[in-house]
Amino acid sequence: MPTLPHPNDMRLLLAPMEGLLDFVLRDILTRVGGVDRCVSEFIRVTNTLLPERAFIRVVPELLNGGRTFAGVPVRAQLLGSDPVCLAENAARLATLGPYGVDLNFGCPAKVVNRHGGGAALLDDPELLLQIVAAVRRAVPAHMPVSAKMRLGVHDDERAVECALAIQSGGADELVVHARTKAHAYRPPAYWERIADIRAAVTIPVVANGEIWNVQDALRCRELSGCNMLMLGRGMVTDPGLALAIRGASAGGEHGSGPVHWHTLLPLIHDFWQLVRARLERRQQAGRLKQWLNFLRRRYPQAEVAYQALKTVTDAAAIDAWLAAQ
């Protein structure tokens, strides 16, 4: 087991989650605090050079110096399988000023994998190397290039080989989601396998998967040896999770105190206003209920809100209900 890092070196990243953790939720969750960096949901690259608006649509933070309005930097993620096309798009993306370029080698979605993208690439370490190397050459030397991978497609036998290929291509950092494509999002996450990868590579490694609370974070840190963790559904469920982990890592017995409902409720109002302003009408009510569905695992008040709004689709009616709270 690698030597554990000093707690003061802890870094916490916010995960990309297609259809959930988009720029709206990134904005709100980074206002709570504790997050050092975000990664955007993927920008799909398929045989064409995308216009600038395609990158800005997914990562509107590019219009704010590559940061959320709370000041947290955002790394833009690309998904594809053609090294030349990915490199061309990475070069265009780089001109817009992201806080680095990330490559998706972890998405388990069937529609993505059928086209040779995401986790499907983990069956071809040589192609991983070619993709990373092409993107690394295409963007300025000062701009970080990172990647996110799973442990494999059907098993984890080539996990270290894939990680070494990504490093050899010139990646500056590697996020490892501690499950295979076949595991999808079913628990557990195999954090100890991240330690094997960390022992084999020299670039920084970020541990990801099944971190729902402070205890999970500390256990992941112990088993993986990583001083960087990426939070996804756990942070959506408990917006104070990053602050709590940071507090616990610094020596507090239970970390920071919880983010109480009365503190979170104004942020839910802000989230709803952003959804109304930035998303299509047909998406709006569903997005609010989607987040409430996660929050009700942590907050009884969110359960009340979810039950009150679960059949409501009219935005004005949701406005009125929230205003009454």
Active site residues: 107
Cβ atoms of residues 76 and 41 within 8 Å: no
**Residues in CB range of 88: below 8 A, 6 or more apart:** 49, 138
Rounded-to-integer distance, Cα 282 and Cα 178, Å: 35
Three-state secondary structure readout of the chain? CCCCCCHHHCEEEECCECCCECHHHHHHHHHHCCCCEEEEEEEECCCCCCCHHHHHHHCHHHHHCCECCCCCEEEEEEECCCHHHHHHHHHHHHCCCCCCEEEEECCCCHHHHHCCCHHHHHHCHHHHHHHHHHHHHHCCCCCCEEEEEECCCCCCCCHHHHHHHHHHCCCCEEEEECCCCCCCCCCCCCHHHHHHHHHHCCCCEEEECCCCCHHHHHHHHHHHCCCEEEECHHHHHCCCHHHHHHHHHCCCCCCCCCCCHHHHHHHHHHHHHHHHHHCCHHHHHHHHHHHHHHHCCCCHHHHHHHHHHCCCCCHHHHHHHHHCC
Rounded-to-integer distance, Cα 205 and Cα 310, Å: 40
Rounded-to-integer distance, Cα 54 and Cα 74, Å: 16
